[in-house]
Structure 1
Amino acid sequence: MATSAAGVIPAERFWQRMAIGLAVFIIFGFAQFALRGFVDPVAAPFWVHLHGIAMLAWLGLLIVQPTLVSRAELPLHRRLGWIGGGLALVITGLGIFTGLASLVLNRFPPFFSPPYFLALTTVEALVFGAMVWWAVRRRHATQWHRRLMIGATIVILEPALGRILPMPLMIGWSDIPIGLIQLAVVGIIALHDRRTFGRVHPATKAIFLIVIAVRATIYLLSLAPPVIALAARLTGG
C-alpha cells in the first residue's frame, strides 16, 4: 500500500477513518450474530477460524497502513503492503474453500439456495483478491491505490451485512439492499472526492461499477445450469 509522502496527514486521516469504520462494522456484524446465539463459534471447523483470523489481520492492516503513511514511515508501509497482498491471496483461497466446504457439510445459511451460496462465496472472494492485486499494481498511483484497497473491503461487506439484516425475510431480493448499502459506502468516498478534487475520482467510479457487477453476477450465476449442477453435487442433492 505505497503512496506519496506529500500532504499525507490530512489525506490519510480520511482513509484511516474509512478503514476503522469498515473494520468496526464487520466485527460488530459477526460479534452480535454470535452473541445472539445464532452460531456457536467453538463448534465451527478450523478453516472457518483460519478465515476469521486472516480477515482480522486484513482489517488490522487496513487501519495500520494509512497510519504509517501519516507518520511518514513509508519503508514499513511498503513492506507491510506486500504482506497484505499475500494475505489477500490467502483470504481469497480460504473464502472459496470455506464456501465449498460449507455446501458439502450443509453448513450454509438456510435462506440461501446452494447455487446462490456457491456463486456468492466464489465471486466475492475472487473479486476481493483481484481488486487487492489491482491496487498493488497501481501502488505508485496513490489515489487509485487507496480507493481500490478500501473498495476491495467494501465488496466483502456482504457477510457482515447478512448477519445484521433480516435475511430470512429477504429471500430472493437480498442483493438489492446489500448492494445499496455497499454503494452508500462508496458514496462516502465520492463525497470526499468532490470536496478534495471537485469531482468524483475515476477509481471511485470503478468501485461503484464493480459493486453493481458483483451483485448482478452472483444473481445470474446462481441461475446458470452449470452452477446449479455443481452445487447439487457438492450438497449431495
Structure 2
Amino acid sequence: MYIHTTASWPAREDRRAALVWLAIFWIFVGVGFGFDLHNYLREQPPVPKIVHVHAIATTIWLLTATALVLMVETGNVRFHRRFGWFAAGYAALILVIAPWSELSWQALNLQTPGALPPQFLSIAFSGVICMAVLLPWGILMRRNSAAHRRVLILATICISDAGFSRLVGLFRPAPTSFLGTYLFYEGGNLLLIVLMLLWDWKRNRIMKQFLWGAFLVVAVGLSATGLYFNETWKSITRSWLENWARHML
C-alpha cells in the first residue's frame, strides 16, 4: 500500500466521496437533533440565548460547508475558492460561540438533576479543538486539492459527536465505561474516519495528510474521554462552571 502526499488521480474522482461523507454526517445531525428538538425546546431551566445562537450559527456553517462541496461537484471551482474565504472567517466565529454556548448551558444546569456533569466539557470541547487545528491546516493545503478536501471534510465531521450521541441515545442510555463512553460520543467520528479510510484504501488513494488528521481526531477524542473520568479534571471543570455561572450568566 502506497501512502500519497499528492494525488496521482483526477480530482473529479474524489468529489462524489465527499458528498457521501457529508450525507452520512447530515443523517447523524438531522436525526439526532431532530428527535431531541422536543426536549430542547422544553428544557427547565430554559436554555440560554447563546445556545440558540450557537444552534443557528452551526447550522449555517454546516450548510456553508456542504455548499462548498456542491460548488466543486458542479464545476463552480472559482466561486468555491472565493466563497471559501468567507466560510473560513465564519468558522472562526463558530470556534468562539461553541465553547461559550457549552459553558453557559452547563453552568446554568450545574445543580440540575440528571444534567451533564461538569467534566463533560472535555468531550464537548474535543470537536472544537480538532476543528481549530484542521480547518487552517486544510486551508493552507488548498493547492493540493486531494489533501485539502480530505482534511476539510475531517474538520467538518469532527463535530458530529453531539448529533451522533443523540441518535444513539434514542436506543440506549449513555454508558459508564471508558470504551462505551468514547463510542457513545465519538463513535460517529470514528465511523466516518473508518469509512473514508476504507474507501481510499480500496482505490489506493490513502494520503498522509488524511492519516495525520484522522489520528488527531481519534487522539483528541480518546484524551477527552480519559479526562471525563479524571477526578482532578472534575474538580477543575466544576470550578470553571461555578465561576462562569457567577460572572457570565
Normalised TM-score (structure 1): 0.83
Tell me the distance in 2 between the aligned counterparts of 1:105 and 1:180.
Answer: 27
Deviation of residue 200 (structure 1)? 2.3
1:41–1:55 distance in 2 versus 1, CA, 3 Å: farther
Aligned equivalent of 2:92: 89
Asked whether 1:16 is paired with 2:23, we answer no
Asked whether 1:220 is paired with 2:226, we answer yes
Tell me the distance in 1 between the aligned counterparts of 2:129 and 2:113.
Answer: 21
Structure with higher RCO (Cα < 8 A, 6+ apart): 2
Deviation of residue 40 (structure 1)? 1.2
1:155–1:49 distance in 2 versus 1, CA, 3 Å: same
Tell me the distance in 2 between the aligned counterparts of 1:220 and 1:161.
Answer: 19
**Partner secondary structure for residue 72 of structure 1:** coil
Which of 209, 213, 223 matches 2:215? 209
1:46–1:191 distance in 2 versus 1, CA, 3 Å: same
Residue type of the partner of 1:210?
A: L
Any unmatched runs of 5+ in structure 2? 1-6, 244-249
Verify the 8 A CA contact 1:131 1:151 in the aligned structure 2. Answer: yes
- How much is the aligned-residue C-alpha RMSD, in angstroms? 2.7
1:24–1:180 distance in 2 versus 1, CA, 3 Å: closer
Aligned equivalent of 1:191: 198
Aligned equivalent of 1:130: 133
Deviation of residue 11 (structure 1)? 2.6
Tell me the distance in 2 between the aligned counterparts of 1:209 and 1:20.
Answer: 22
**Partner secondary structure for residue 203 of structure 1:** helix
1:219–1:18 distance in 2 versus 1, CA, 3 Å: closer
Name the count of aligned residue pairs.
228
Any unmatched runs of 5+ in structure 1? none
Deviation of residue 224 (structure 1)? 6.1
After TM superposition, list the pairs within 5 Å mapping 1:27-176 onto structure 2. 27-34=30-37, 37-40=38-41, 43-106=46-109, 110=114, 112-115=116-119, 117-166=120-169, 168-172=173-177, 173-176=180-183
Deviation of residue 30 (structure 1)? 0.4
1:218–1:119 distance in 2 versus 1, CA, 3 Å: same
